[in-house]
């Protein structure tokens, strides 16, 4: 297969993906689009938050070439030759889930410097993809994070009602806005559903629990290994144990010493695993006050996405604080 055929097939696949995108889009996208002005951007965020949807829409709107880095089709040709051809014909290129492309940082740095009038947008689950790169890309790329879906966005998906934003819930003037919202919708009813399955737009597809469990599996087996010097089944087992403890323990922390004894690994490795798990949006480590340690278990550890407490039927008491 030659480069022209690969480009043609990738374009066909992009159009197919665009055709299957839901009509409703996250309200966050409107503000996010206004921030996409730099020619070098890394979009980060949890799996299922909408990174691919947003980038596909931007590729169509700006006329950029979209490449899913995990597509085996790009292995059929020289990636260097593919990029040269793409940048000859297109105003920019979007590399989705860039860490799946072997040697990606070298390619990106080379073409970013050689084509100063072209745009390069990347996406990945964590900003540490830049730190792991062999080239110095941090000064070239702006990092933008796509957060999980807000309650306001969830209500929009459920009711078509675009509620006003409440920037400061303690502002007396905005209290009137809150009162108006309470008259328009059944806030508690919607929030009960939101906290169980409303943090990512994939809930609209159904089977939210199964999809979330699949996301956790992919994060453990496909994302995290990229950010570690070495990984084995024992390390995967440690991370599973950490997630299980967070889900079912009434006390939102872990015993590092016990974890080391049970799994036969040292403290530095456990701290490293915790750090990476936080960076790829699995957990949220609440730092101790005035802590200056590079790696820490913090004062408390929660799921970054609180809906996981419901997905795993875990300790719901920790949901509110999470």
Residue 292 has pLDDT above 60, yes or no: no
- How many domains is the chain partitioned into structurally? 3
Q: How far is CA 15 from CA 9, 18, 160, 183, 206, in A?
A: 10, 5, 26, 42, 24
Indicate if 120 and 164 belong to the same structural domain.
no
Query: For residue 212, what is the domain's CATH number?
Result: 1.10.10
Indicate if 32 and 128 belong to the same structural domain.
yes
Indicate if 177 and 273 belong to the same structural domain.
no
Indicate if 233 and 189 belong to the same structural domain.
no
> pLDDT at position 140, please?
83
> pLDDT at position 136, please?
67
* Average of per-residue pLDDT across 272-283: 91
CA distance 198 to 159: 13
Residues in a beta bridge with 96: 68
Model confidence at 296, pLDDT cuts 50, 70, 90, reads: low
Indicate if 182 and 296 belong to the same structural domain.
no
CA distance 307 to 318: 11
Q: Which of 128, 145, 162 is the last residue of a domain?
A: 145
203 occurs within a structural domain: no
CA distance 282 to 269: 17
Indicate if 9 and 102 belong to the same structural domain.
yes
Q: Which of 110, 130, 145 is the last residue of a domain?
A: 145
Phi, psi of 143 (to 5 degrees): -100, 125
Query: For residue 73, what is the domain's CATH number?
Result: 3.40.50.300
Q: For residue 238, what are the contacts with CB-CB under 8 A and spacing of at least 6?
A: 259, 263, 265, 269, 270, 273
> pLDDT at position 64, please?
97
pLDDT digit string (tens) for 51-85?
A: 999 999 999 999 999 999 989 989 889 999 999 99
Q: Which of 132, 163, 197 is the last residue of a domain?
A: 197
Structural domain boundaries, residue 56: 3-145
CA distance 316 to 322: 10
> pLDDT at position 227, please?
84
252 occurs within a structural domain: yes
Of the listed ranges 42-46, 120-124, 135-139, 159-163, the least confidently predicted one is 135-139
pLDDT digit string (tens) for 218-263?
A: 999 988 888 888 888 999 999 999 999 999 998 888 888 888 988 9
49 occurs within a structural domain: yes
């Amino acid at each position: 297969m030659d480069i022209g055929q690969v480009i043609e097939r990738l374009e066909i696949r992009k159009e197919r993906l665009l055709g299957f995108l839901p009509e409703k889009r996250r309200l966050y996208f409107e503000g996010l689009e206004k921030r996409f002005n730099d020619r070098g951007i890394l979009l980060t965020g949890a799996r299922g938050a909408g990174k691919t949807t947003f980038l596909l829409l931007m590729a169509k709107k700006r006329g950029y070439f979209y490449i899913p880095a995990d597509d085996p089709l790009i292995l059929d040709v020289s990636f260097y030759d593919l990029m040269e051809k793409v940048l000859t014909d297109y105003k920019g290129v979007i590399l989705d889930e860039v860490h799946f492309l072997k040697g990606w940082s070298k390619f990106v740095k080379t073409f970013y410097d050689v084509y100063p009038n072209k745009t390069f947008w990347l996406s990945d689950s964590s900003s540490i993809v830049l730190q792991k790169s062999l080239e110095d890309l941090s000064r070239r790329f702006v990092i933008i994070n796509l957060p999980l879906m807000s309650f306001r966005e969830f209500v929009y998906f459920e009711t078509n009602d675009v509620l006003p934003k409440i920037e400061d819930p303690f502002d007396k003037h905005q209290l009137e806005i809150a009162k108006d919202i309470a008259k328009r919708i059944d806030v508690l009813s919607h929030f009960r559903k939101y906290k169980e399955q409303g943090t990512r737009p994939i809930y609209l597809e159904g089977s939210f629990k199964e999809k979330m469990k699949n996301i956790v599996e992919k994060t453990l087996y496909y994302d995290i290994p990229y950010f570690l010097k070495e990984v084995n089944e024992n390390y995967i087992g440690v991370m599973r144990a950490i997630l299980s403890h967070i889900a079912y323990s009434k006390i939102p922390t872990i015993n590092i010493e016990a974890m080391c004894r049970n799994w036969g690994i040292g403290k530095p490795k456990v701290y490293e695993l915790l750090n990476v798990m936080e960076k790829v949006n699995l957990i949220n480590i609440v730092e101790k006050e005035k802590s200056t340690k590079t790696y820490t278990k913090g004062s408390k550890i929660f799921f970054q996405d609180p809906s996981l407490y419901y997905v795993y039927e875990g300790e719901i008491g920790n949901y509110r604080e999470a």
